[in-house]
Structure formats: structure tokens, C-alpha cells
């Protein structure tokens, strides 16, 4: 029997969304590696500092539990453009990634996307697992070792050349779509010399799309500067016709999504007091996501909380009830 190597394996709620995604339309997220286990510690990460920087693949979460949750969602009429494996850490660190994708295929025809930093693609077993996905979205933020160290702060055994050779090997073996994300940070990887180096590396990898992103949301390091849209478009034009800017898409749609979900939470709490777990189950969202709405509504005094039988219940401010 396979052992589970992390306490987080006990948790339920491996799926989140569907959320509108800049790159994948309506995307149901699958989170299989706990916060914050990664091969890198990117300065722009939105999840926070890497607490376990590793290149060791492990059985981090119970794949059968993830698949059972997905089965339930599909039976309830799930509609999504992609099932996207990504989450709170680097998903290729999960030793049963290939089995997970095989399992998803048995449950649904919805295409599978995999968001990875690409650093483990030098390994044949990781490439074989990734090749099971319909679309793979790896990252490349630097054209040389110095900038790679500065922006991605990799594990000691990972170098830019290892990353690039893994991406090239994967391209040679994989017939699906590769959409390469380049995350740009002002004053770090945006000067013309660095962009020329990145362009050369992209030429070696030959992805189907190149997607430019920048720091539109809060980042791990506070001094990470967003690149403005005009400059992103200029850099996109330098990287060729397969290149597009995806950075400004999310905030617009994301804001609408957040507004809608906040209203959903509020209408639940107007009907009856609920715990965070009730909200997660009722709206099919993760604990972290529910917490975000609760915090927002509490700050505005639209809801408040009370302790009952050892649990915290949230309820709408009585003045708001119809």
C-alpha cells in the first residue's frame, strides 16, 4: 500500500472552482501538492515563500480521494473547459501524477491541463506523466543562470540549463500543446539583453504559444514591480507571433468572479448561520477561498460571527436580511 507523505493528505477539498482563468477559460483546479512545496521559490509567487524546497517526488495527497471528489462533481453536472492540475506547490513533485491523469480520463472527457514550472522535465518519468495531459503550461522567466537565480531562486540541483534541456526533451516527445509562460518583473528580466536571451531559448524549445504575465496580484517579495501593458505588448512583439499578453485578462474577469462569489456567500448567510466548512461544501470552493470572502464581508461589517458548540458560525448582519 502506498504511504501518504504529508499531513495535508488528511484534508478534503482538493478541487476548487471552476474559476475563470486567463489562459484556460472555465477551469476546475486540482490541488495535489501542499503549501508550499516547490522546486523553486519565485520572488513573484502568489502563494508565499517556499517552506519545503525539494526535488524529491513523493505521494503527497491521496489520489483516490481526489478522484472520488471529482466523480461527485461530475455526477452533479460539472461544466468546465479544463480540469487544471496546479495548486499550492509544484504538481510534478507528486509521484502519482500520471495515475491521477489516467484516473481523470476514466471519469470525464473534459481536457486536462497541467501548470508546472517545468524544472523536473529533465526526468524521463516526469515527462511521461506530463505527456498524459492535453495541454502543458510550463514556465521560463530567464535566459541565463544569473537571472534564473534572481527571479526563481531554485533548489541547488536545478540550473537554467537543466530546465531548458528538460523542456526541449519534452517538446521532442510530446505531441500535445505547450503554452510557455514568461513572467516578467520590471528591472529584473525586462532589459533588451535578457529578452534577446529568452527569445533564443524559446527558439530552442519551440512551444505552441508564449504567454506573457506580470505581477498583477500581491507577490511574495514586496518589491516585485509590475510591467506596464505597453511594455508587455512591445516585448510580445519581439518574441514573435506566437506570443500574447495574458496579464491584464485576469483582473477584469477575476473581479467579476469575486463579486459573484461574495454575493453567493452572503445569500447563504442570509438564510442561516454557516461554518466555513458549510460554505465550502455549499459553494464547492476551497477553505482558503471561503476564508477570503468571509474576511472581506467581516471587514465591511456585513456579516459577523458567533461561537456555538466549539464551532464558529458566520451570519449576515440582521439589518441586511429581507
Query: Rule CB under 6 A: is residue 141 a binding residue for ligand SF4?
Result: no
Which residues does 105 contact at the CB level (< 8 Å), separation at least 6?
112, 132
Strand (E) positions, the chain? Answer: 15-21, 25-31, 37-38, 52-53, 82-86, 112-115, 135-137, 177-184, 209-214, 243-245, 303-308, 311-316
Distance in Å, CB of 33 to ligand SF4, minimum: 9
Which residues does 155 contact at the CB level (< 8 Å), separation at least 6?
39, 40, 53, 54, 55, 119
CA distances from 67 to 12, 61, 71, 106 (A): 11, 11, 6, 10
Distance in Å, CB of 31 to ligand SF4, minimum: 11
Q: Of these, 45, 110, 235, 246, which contacts ligand SF4 (CB under 6 A)?
A: 45
Cell 520590471 -> residue? 186
Return the residues of window 73-92 that contact ligand SF4 according to CB under 6 A: 89-90
Compute how many residues bind ligand SF4; rule: CB under 6 A. Answer: 10
Binding mask 199-228 for ligand SF4 (x = CB under 6 A): ------------------------------
Residue 93 in grid coordinates? 513533485
| Residue with smaller CB distance to ligand SF4, 45 or 212 | 45
- How many CB atoms sit inside 10 A of residue 223's CB? 9
Question: Of 34-42, 221-229, 235-243, 295-303, which part binds ligand SF4 (CB under 6 A)?
Answer: 34-42
Q: Is the peptide bond before 294 cis (omega within 30 degrees of 0)?
A: no
Query: Rule CB under 6 A: is residue 41 a binding residue for ligand SF4?
Result: yes
Q: Of these, 117, 211, 214, 286, which contacts ligand SF4 (CB under 6 A)?
A: 117
Residue 133 in grid coordinates? 495531459
Q: Of these, 42, 114, 180, 245, which contacts ligand SF4 (CB under 6 A)?
A: 42
> What is the H or E stretch that residue 225 is in?
none
| Residue with smaller CB distance to ligand SF4, 34 or 89 | 89
Query: Rule CB under 6 A: is residue 181 a binding residue for ligand SF4?
Result: no
Query: Rule CB under 6 A: is residue 31 a binding residue for ligand SF4?
Result: no
Question: Of 35-43, 120-128, 154-162, 229-237, which part binds ligand SF4 (CB under 6 A)?
Answer: 35-43
Residues that bind ligand SF4 (CB under 6 A): 38, 40-42, 45, 47, 50, 89-90, 117
Amino acid at each position: 500500500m502506498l504511504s501518504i507523505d504529508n499531513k495535508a493528505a488528511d484534508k478534503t477539498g482538493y478541487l476548487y472552482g471552476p474559476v475563470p482563468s486567463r489562459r484556460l477559460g472555465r477551469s476546475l483546479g486540482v490541488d495535489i501538492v501542499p503549501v508550499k512545496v516547490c522546486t523553486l521559490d519565485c520572488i513573484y509567487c502568489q502563494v508565499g515563500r517556499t517552506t519545503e524546497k525539494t526535488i524529491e517526488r513523493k505521494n503527497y495527497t491521496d489520489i483516490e480521494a481526489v478522484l472520488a471528489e471529482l466523480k461527485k462533481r461530475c455526477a452533479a453536472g460539472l461544466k468546465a473547459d479544463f480540469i487544471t492540475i496546479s495548486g499550492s506547490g509544484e504538481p510534478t513533485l507528486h509521484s502519482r501524477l500520471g495515475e491521477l491523469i489516467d484516473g481523470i480520463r476514466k471519469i470525464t472527457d473534459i481536457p486536462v491541463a497541467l501548470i508546472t514550472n517545468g524544472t523536473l522535465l529533465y526526468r524521463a518519468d516526469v515527462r511521461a506523466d506530463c505527456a498524459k495531459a492535453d495541454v502543458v503550461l510550463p514556465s521560463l522567466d530567464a535566459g541565463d543562470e544569473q537571472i534564473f537565480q534572481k527571479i526563481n531562486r531554485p533548489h541547488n540541483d536545478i540550473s537554467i540549463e537543466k530546465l531548458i534541456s528538460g523542456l526541449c526533451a519534452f517538446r521532442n516527445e510530446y505531441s500535445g500543446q505547450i503554452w510557455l509562460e514568461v513572467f516578467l518583473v520590471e528591472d529584473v528580466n525586462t532589459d533588451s539583453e535578457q529578452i534577446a536571451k529568452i527569445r533564443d531559448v524559446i527558439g530552442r524549445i519551440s512551444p505552441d504559444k508564449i504567454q506573457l504575465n506580470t505581477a498583477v496580484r500581491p507577490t511574495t517579495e514586496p518589491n516585485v514591480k509590475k510591467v506596464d501593458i505597453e511594455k508587455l505588448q512591445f516585448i510580445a512583439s519581439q518574441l514573435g507571433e506566437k506570443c500574447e499578453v495574458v496579464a491584464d485578462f485576469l483582473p477584469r474577469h477575476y473581479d467579476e468572479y469575486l463579486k459573484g462569489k461574495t454575493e453567493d456567500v452572503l445569500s447563504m448567510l442570509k438564510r442561516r448561520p454557516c461554518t466555513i466548512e458549510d460554505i465550502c461544501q455549499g459553494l464547492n470552493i476551497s477553505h482558503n477561498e471561503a476564508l477570503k470572502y468571509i474576511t472581506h464581508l467581516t471587514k465591511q461589517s456585513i456579516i459577523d460571527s458567533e461561537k456555538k458548540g466549539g464551532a464558529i458560525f458566520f451570519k449576515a448582519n440582521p439589518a441586511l436580511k429581507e
